[in-house]
Amino acid sequence: MARPEPGAAVFVKDLPEPQAGPGQVRVRISKAAICGTDRHIFHWDPSIAPLLSPPVVIGHEFCGHIDQVGAEVTGWEEGDYVSAEMHIVCGKCRACRAGNQHVCEDTEIAGLHCDGAFAEFVVVPSQNLVRLDPAVVPPHIGAFLDALGNAVHTVQAASSIAGRHILLSGYGAIGAMAAAVVEFEGAASLCITEVAPGHLSRAREWVSKLNGPVPVHVFDPREEGTAEKIRQITGGGVDVVLEMSGAPPAINMGLELLYPGGEMMMLGLPSGSDLSLEGFARNVIFKGLHLHGVVGRRIFATWTEMLGLLARGLNIEHIVTHRLPLSSFTEGIGLLDAAEAHKVILDPTT
């Protein structure tokens, strides 16, 4: 990202190799992945443009091997296989001191505020590193643990999943991973709603290959009778909504379908900053709902949990739809814009 303009301002350029300073390590990147945030940056979306001061290397989802260890770093060596939390938090604000580093008031995001991972090397603070086991996390999965963390954080924010009826709205990459976690954790049922044809067909394809005990249903919510069908499947209403779309009709449908006492985990960002809720008194207050905003990943509890899920056999292979050389970044953005991809993995070595 070089100039503050949409699209055309993102290009491939030779930069000097970054050096690990005190407390930092340099990682040689094996694989990286494109995130929705990178798309917003590429399109110079007003929601994100003010946060960037180009030139900056974008990208925040990656894994690789440490190839340089800075001064004052202990516990890490050249060759260690790692990913990293790219939210660099202050450790001093009230949120950090309360153990809520994921909502630190003074967060700096590598790949946004400072140089990130769409490169051959990235320099990160050693305290942000996460050690990976190559037997559990191959590089094409290690490339997008950041996004898996959003999915796991959203699911784990619910008071429980096992034995409960779950509605998941929005089967983009993070929604698809959240669906896999819900299925893995043994919900009573999982209903998925999605409107983009590509994502809908990927949801149906995923369901057709499942052979576990959890009934999973996929709906285009614009089809007549969808709410009634979901009520029938769930015995009158859902216990938990995982809202991954940010689409106002999906949020309102979720509130409408929640059974009294239910909970909604809200990760999806509405375009524009406001949202109007329909039947607020009836659907939220009188049902005694819990609404929970979800941002980022808990540092580092979510990382530990997601690595635990992968070690126990959580399968997210189907999330990887494309593998491209790093130089084909623009092609990857196009695939994501058209909802033709879930995760596009970028390889800086090809």
Catalytic positions: 37, 40
Q: Which of 9, 49, 90, 109 binds Zn ion (CB under 5 A)?
A: 90
For residue 286, give both structure tokens: 């009188």
Round to whole Å and give the CA distance between 216 and 60.
32
For residue 198, give both structure tokens: 């590509």
Q: Which of 93, 207, 210, 269 binds Zn ion (CB under 5 A)?
A: 93
Nearest approach in angstroms of CB 179 to Zn ion is 18
Kindly report whether the peptide bond that precedes residue 300 is cis, defined as omega within 30 degrees of 0. Answer: yes
Round to whole Å and give the CA distance between 342 and 199.
8
Q: Is 86 in the site for Zn ion (CB under 5 A)?
A: no
Q: What single string gives the DSSP state of each residue in 260-273?
A: EEEEEEE-PPPSSS
Q: Which of 1, 58, 104, 178 binds Zn ion (CB under 5 A)?
A: 104
Q: Is 85 in the site for Zn ion (CB under 5 A)?
A: no
Residue 172 or 221: the one with the smaller Cβ distance to Zn ion is: 172
Nearest approach in angstroms of CB 4 to Zn ion is 21
Nearest approach in angstroms of CB 234 to Zn ion is 31
Q: What is the DSSP letter of 22?
A: T
Residue 18 neighbours by CB distance under 10 Å:
16
Residue 3 neighbours by CB distance under 10 Å:
12
Residue 86 or 200: the one with the smaller Cβ distance to Zn ion is: 86
Nearest Cα neighbor of 151 from 166, 167, 172, 137 is 172
Distance of CA 84 to the CA centre of its chain: 14
Q: Which of 41, 96, 119, 266 binds Zn ion (CB under 5 A)?
A: 96
With vertex at residue 34, the alpha carbon angle to CA 167 and CA 247, rounded to the nearest 5 degrees, is: 35
Nearest approach in angstroms of CB 111 to Zn ion is 8
**Which residues within the stretch 143-202 sit at the binding site for Zn ion (CB under 5 A)?**
146-147
Residue 85 or 183: the one with the smaller Cβ distance to Zn ion is: 85
Per-residue contact string for residues 24-43; x = within reach of Zn ion by CB under 5 A: -----------x--------
Nearest approach in angstroms of CB 156 to Zn ion is 18
Residues in the chain, how many? 350
With vertex at residue 156, the alpha carbon angle to CA 153 and CA 162, rounded to the nearest 5 degrees, is: 150
Residue 92 or 282: the one with the smaller Cβ distance to Zn ion is: 92
CB 248 within 8 A of CB 266: no
Nearest approach in angstroms of CB 283 to Zn ion is 31
Q: How many residues bind Zn ion (CB under 5 A)?
A: 10
Per-residue contact string for residues 45-84; x = within reach of Zn ion by CB under 5 A: ----------------x-----------------------
Residue 96 or 161: the one with the smaller Cβ distance to Zn ion is: 96
Q: Which residues contact 236 (CB under 8 A, 6 or more apart)?
A: 259
Residue 153 or 287: the one with the smaller Cβ distance to Zn ion is: 153
Q: Using CB under 5 A as the criterion, which residues of the chain lie in contact with Zn ion when the complex forms?
A: 35, 61, 89-90, 93, 96, 104, 106, 146-147
